[in-house]
């Protein structure tokens, strides 16, 4: 496993395009060794381009890529010592499971006994140790995907394991268990993992650190907790979380921020700005019985089922927000309910970015 | 619904009728003819029982032609496959002017077999042809291309290979171009070299295409007759006769219609059985995955 340094790496597929239109804007990132990272974002956000640059499929238009401090920018895929799991399971279908897992080691001319020991170790972790003699092509798609991963893990010196939406073709009921398996296995072998997905839920539940991308930029990097609790921008707030974060436009009257004519206390105050928004997760909005500070009257507009939870759509001062409530609470009998926006969870946003404390007014 | 169905059959009818006329009728007619003594002196649809078939069983020239076909078709198709696959691998990836190469390799296939055979007859001409001329410069005695059995077979096979390798090339190139990229990338990541990548990735992935291409060419090659006709006329003696050419001799040249009918039916049954077995053996030899599992892997 290696530390990956991405130094001013940027890429464009059309030569001579101005930098604003590059598929990947020049960026500087460090991916620490033995951590799992998820690149998440909508189609066309540049996550696959970044992955292809890491794997060596795409040579960046500018910048340098370092694995453990040595420059690999010009090296082809083969020389980079990475492993990759593709969207579609790639196995050698003329070989058995054992031969598939042993293949990278045979290519590296390990001796027989060492291969045997290592393959058994990895197969056991993958849960495939009792199927080593079977032809790999007979396995189900999720087991084949495990073989792809296993071929990366058998090499104990692999610099990084890259996963390109590995759960795309897996049946929904198997997705959950396969993701858990992959997570357990990566925790055991601790390679540096870069996992690309457009599914925020997958990213949040898999990775130790999530990088949200948009238009060729990493717009926020953080732990799943940080992304959930403090999205750096309204975009991240919308993208991460289900349902998305609520954003409400508020007014400033005198020195006081107000919503629907009542004062609203936020987690911290912001300097005066033409337009201030507050963000609050649907999970934190509480239905209360008595008026109090930060409690607002709302009108129920709709109810949606979200598995164990219910999502109420309520109108607050002409703006729709969502409230996530446990199923057992039931649907409010009246159309009018009071909701509390807990002060610590009400975050101020200016120009679409999380506003920092009053002193530093720099967005981002 | 009934109206729609009637309309459908209306549109299907011309095609079905044509099919009936050109396949079913001749087949039935041939079966009937094969039980008759129809020949040039007795052009009648009489009934001679199985006499023609007994004669077929005793016709050593026919069976020799069939055995020869195994060598001719099997040998040429195998060599065509090797060369065709090799050429396809050469121009598959980034090669300079690969489009030009691809078209150039196809030229032999575009020419008429009869014309080709005539040209090759000149090339192999024993006293005037360039082949013997070149061999002489290398100090090799002139080869009797068309007057000795071995060289005549070699000449015939050369023409066949030259003419039909492009077809194999085309099928194999199409197969290569349709392969997914990921397995090759995975092999590169796993550290496989060119040799290993070919045997463990390219070749297994190409197995279904390989089997189809070989079968198609075997069917075509078993019909071999026009090249024989122009190049050697089956000679010397009957050393290069193919079943197709022998059928032509008996049926059309000697007008033994009844006997030729029984020959061709015997040949048809032989071909169906042989090619079915060959197809099954090829699929096993190439370890072609079954359709269901293949679809998921791709």
pLDDT at A49 over 50: yes
DSSP code, position B14: H
**Inter-chain CB proximity B297 and A89 less than 8 Å:** yes
Q: In chain B, what residues touch A170 (CB-CB under 8 Å)? A: none
**Inter-chain CB proximity B185 and A84 less than 8 Å:** yes
CA distance B8 to A80: 61
pLDDT bracket for residue A190 (50, 70, 90)? confident
pLDDT at B75 over 60: yes
CA distance A292 to A230: 25
CA distance B63 to B12: 41
The mean pLDDT of B60-84, rounded to a whole number, is 93
Mutation target to probe the A interface, by most A beta carbons within 10 A, among B186, B195, B197 is: B186
Q: In chain B, what residues touch A89 (CB-CB under 8 Å)? A: 296-297
Alpha-carbon distance A82 to nearest alpha carbon in chain B (angstroms) = 7
Q: In chain B, what residues touch A82 (CB-CB under 8 Å)? A: 189
What share of chain A has pLDDT > 90, as a percent?
36
CB neighbours of residue A13 within 10 Å: 11
Alpha-carbon distance B1 to nearest alpha carbon in chain A (angstroms) = 39
- Range of weakest confidence among A120-124, A273-277, B60-64: A273-277
**Residue-range domain boundaries for chain A:** 4-234, 242-354
Select from A103, A137, A151 the Cβ nearest to the Cβ of B297: A137
What angle separates helix A97-107 from helix B182-190, to the nearest 10 degrees?
A: 60
Give the CA count within 13 Å in the CB-facing half-sphere of A312. Answer: 27
User: What is the pLDDT at residue B45?
Assistant: 82
pLDDT at A57 over 90: no
pLDDT bracket for residue B234 (50, 70, 90)? confident
CA distance B57 to B263: 9
**Inter-chain CB proximity B189 and A77 less than 8 Å:** yes
CATH class in words for A242-354: mainly beta
CATH class in words for A4-234: alpha beta
Q: Is A79 on the interface with B (CB under 8 A)?
A: no
CA distance A219 to B5: 61
Q: What's the distance, CA A251 to chain centroid?
A: 33
User: What is the pLDDT at residue A179?
Assistant: 85
pLDDT at B9 over 90: no
CB distance B65 to B246 below 8 Å: yes
The mean pLDDT of A250-259, rounded to a whole number, is 85
Q: Complex ipTM, two decimals? A: 0.74
CA distance B177 to B209: 11
DSSP code, position A329: G
DSSP code, position A135: B
pLDDT at A262 over 50: yes
Q: Is A51 on the interface with B (CB under 8 A)?
A: no
pLDDT in tens, B102-118: 888 888 888 888 888 88
DSSP letter string over A252-296?
Answer: EETTEEEETTEE---SS-----S-EEEEE-TTT-EEESS--TTEE
**pLDDT, mean over chain B:** 87
Instruction: Look at the alpha carbons of B130, B133, B137, B143 in this order and tell me if their dihedral is positive or negative.
Output: positive
CB neighbours of residue B110 within 10 Å: 9
Strands of the A309-316 sheet, one edge to the other: A286-288, A336-340, A295-306, A309-316, A319-326
pLDDT bracket for residue B297 (50, 70, 90)? very low
User: What is the pLDDT at residue B32?
Assistant: 92
User: What is the pLDDT at residue A261?
Assistant: 85
Partner residues linked to A9 by β-bridges: A27
CB distance B236 to B148 below 8 Å: yes
Select from B189, B196, B201 the Cβ nearest to the Cβ of A84: B189
pLDDT in tens, A222-238: 999 999 999 999 999 99
Alpha-carbon distance B208 to nearest alpha carbon in chain A (angstroms) = 13
Mutation target to probe the B interface, by most B beta carbons within 10 A, among A89, A94, A104 is: A94
The residues, ordered by sequence, that sit 6+ positions from B154 with a Cβ below 8 Å of its Cβ are B145
**pLDDT, mean over chain A:** 87
DSSP letter string over B32-92?
Answer: HHHTS---SS-------TTHHHHHHHH-HHHHHHHHHHHHHHHHHHHHHHHHHHHHHHHHH
pLDDT in tens, B245-259: 999 999 889 888 899
User: What is the pLDDT at residue B112?
Assistant: 84
pLDDT at A24 over 60: yes
- Residue B111, SS3 per DSSP: coil
User: What is the pLDDT at residue A125?
Assistant: 85
pLDDT in tens, A276-306: 899 999 999 999 888 888 999 999 998 888 8
User: What is the pLDDT at residue B181?
Assistant: 87
Q: Is A156 on the interface with B (CB under 8 A)?
A: no
Q: Which residue has the higher pLDDT, B201 or A269?
A: B201
pLDDT at A333 over 80: no
pLDDT bracket for residue B157 (50, 70, 90)? very high
pLDDT bracket for residue B1 (50, 70, 90)? low
Q: Is A110 on the interface with B (CB under 8 A)?
A: no
The candidate with the shortest Cα–Cα distance to A267, out of A146, A357, A337, is: A357
CA distance A213 to A317: 32
Phi-psi region of A49 (alpha: psi -120 to 50; beta: other; left: phi over 0): alpha
**Inter-chain CB proximity B190 and A104 less than 8 Å:** yes
Global pTM reads: 0.76
β-strands A276-280, A246-253 pairing: antiparallel
The candidate with the shortest Cα–Cα distance to A133, out of A94, A101, A98, is: A98
Q: Which residue has the higher pLDDT, B28 or A329?
A: B28
Q: In chain B, what residues touch A144 (CB-CB under 8 Å)? A: 296-297
Q: In chain B, what residues touch A55 (CB-CB under 8 Å)? A: 185, 189
pLDDT in tens, A100-153: 999 999 988 899 999 999 999 889 888 888 889 999 888 888 889 889 888 888
pLDDT bracket for residue A211 (50, 70, 90)? very high
The residues, ordered by sequence, that sit 6+ positions from A188 with a Cβ below 8 Å of its Cβ are A125
User: What is the pLDDT at residue B289?
Assistant: 63
Q: Is B285 on the interface with A (CB under 8 A)?
A: no
The residues, ordered by sequence, that sit 6+ positions from B248 with a Cβ below 8 Å of its Cβ are B225, B229
The mean pLDDT of A16-43, rounded to a whole number, is 89
pLDDT in tens, B179-224: 998 899 889 888 888 899 999 999 999 999 999 999 999 999 998 8
Burial of A117 (0-12, 13-18, 19+ CB in 10 A): exposed
Which domains, from first to last, does chain B contain? Answer: 62-289 (1.10.3720.10)
CB distance B120 to B159 below 8 Å: yes
**Inter-chain CB proximity A92 and B201 less than 8 Å:** yes
pLDDT at A53 over 80: yes
pLDDT in tens, A342-359: 999 999 998 888 987 544
CB distance B160 to A48 below 8 Å: no
DSSP code, position B20: I
Strands of the A70-71 sheet, one edge to the other: A24-31, A4-11, A62-67, A70-71
User: What is the pLDDT at residue B290?
Assistant: 56
């Amino acid at each position: 496993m290696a530390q990956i340094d991405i130094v001013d790496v940027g890429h464009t597929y059309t030569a001579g395009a101005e930098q604003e239109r590059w598929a990947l804007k020049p960026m500087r990132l460090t991916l620490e060794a033995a951590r799992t990272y998820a690149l998440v974002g909508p189609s066309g956000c540049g996550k696959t381009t970044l992955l292809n640059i890491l794997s060596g499929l795409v040579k960046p238009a500018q910048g340098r890529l370092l694995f453990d401090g040595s420059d690999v920018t010009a090296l082809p895929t083969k020389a980079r010592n990475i492993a990759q799991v593709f969207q579609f399971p790639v196995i050698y279908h003329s070989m058995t499971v054992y031969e598939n897992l042993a293949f990278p080691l045979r290519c590296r001319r390990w001796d027989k006994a060492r291969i045997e020991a290592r393959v058994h170790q990895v197969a056991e972790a993958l849960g495939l140790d009792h199927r080593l003699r079977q032809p790999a092509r007979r396995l189900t798609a999720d087991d084949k995907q495990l073989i792809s991963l296993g071929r990366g893990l058998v090499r104990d010196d692999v610099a990084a394991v890259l996963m390109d939406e590995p759960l795309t073709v897996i049946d929904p009921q198997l997705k959950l268990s396969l993701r858990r398996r992959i997570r357990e296995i990566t925790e055991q072998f601790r390679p540096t993992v870069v996992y690309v997905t457009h599914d925020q839920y997958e990213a949040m539940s898999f990775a130790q650190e999530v990088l949200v991308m948009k238009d060729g930029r990493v717009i926020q990097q953080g732990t799943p907790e940080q992304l959930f609790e403090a999205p750096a921008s309204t975009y991240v707030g919308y993208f991460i979380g289900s349902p998305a974060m609520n954003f409400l436009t508020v007014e400033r009257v005198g020195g006081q921020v107000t919503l629907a004519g009542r004062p609203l206390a936020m987690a911290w105050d912001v300097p005066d700005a033409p337009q201030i928004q507050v963000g609050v997760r649907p999970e934190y909005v509480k239905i209360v019985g008595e008026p109090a500070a930060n409690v607002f009257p709302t009108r129920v507009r709709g109810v949606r089922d979200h598995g164990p939870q219910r999502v109420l759509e309520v109108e607050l001062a002409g703006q729709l927000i969502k409230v996530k409530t446990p199923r057992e609470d039931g649907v409010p009998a009246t159309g009018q309910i009071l909701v509390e926006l807990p002060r610590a969870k009400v975050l101020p946003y200016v120009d679409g970015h999380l506003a920092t404390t009053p002193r530093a007014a720099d967005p981002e | 619904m009934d109206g729609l169905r009637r309309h459908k059959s209306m549109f299907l009818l011309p095609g079905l009728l044509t099919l009936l006329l050109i396949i079913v009728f001749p087949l039935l007619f041939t079966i009937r003819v094969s039980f008759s003594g129809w020949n040039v002196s007795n052009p009648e649809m009489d009934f001679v029982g199985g006499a023609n078939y007994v004669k077929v069983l005793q016709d050593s020239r026919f069976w020799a032609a069939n055995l020869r076909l195994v060598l001719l078709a099997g040998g040429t198709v195998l060599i065509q496959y090797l060369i065709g696959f090799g050429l396809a691998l050469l121009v598959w990836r980034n090669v300079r002017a690969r489009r030009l190469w691809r078209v150039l390799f196809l030229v032999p296939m575009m020419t008429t077999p009869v014309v080709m055979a005539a040209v090759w007859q000149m090339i192999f001409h024993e006293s005037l042809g360039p082949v013997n001329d070149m061999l002489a410069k290398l100090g090799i005695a002139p080869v009797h291309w068309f007057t000795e059995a071995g060289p005549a077979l070699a000449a015939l096979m050369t023409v066949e290979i030259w003419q039909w390798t492009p077809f194999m090339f085309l099928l194999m190139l199409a197969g290569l171009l349709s392969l997914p990229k990921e397995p090759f990338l995975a092999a590169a990541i796993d550290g496989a070299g060119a040799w290993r990548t070919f045997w463990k990735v390219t070749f297994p992935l190409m197995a279904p295409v390989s089997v189809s291409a070989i079968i198609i060419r075997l069917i075509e090659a078993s019909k071999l007759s026009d090249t024989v006709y122009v190049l050697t006329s089956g000679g010397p003696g009957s050393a290069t006769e193919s079943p197709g050419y022998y059928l032509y001799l008996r049926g059309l040249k000697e007008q033994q219609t009844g006997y030729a009918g029984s020959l061709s039916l015997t040949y048809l049954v032989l071909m169906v059985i042989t090619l079915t077995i060959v197809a099954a053996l090829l699929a096993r030899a190439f370890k072609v995955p079954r359709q269901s599992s293949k679809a998921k892997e791709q």
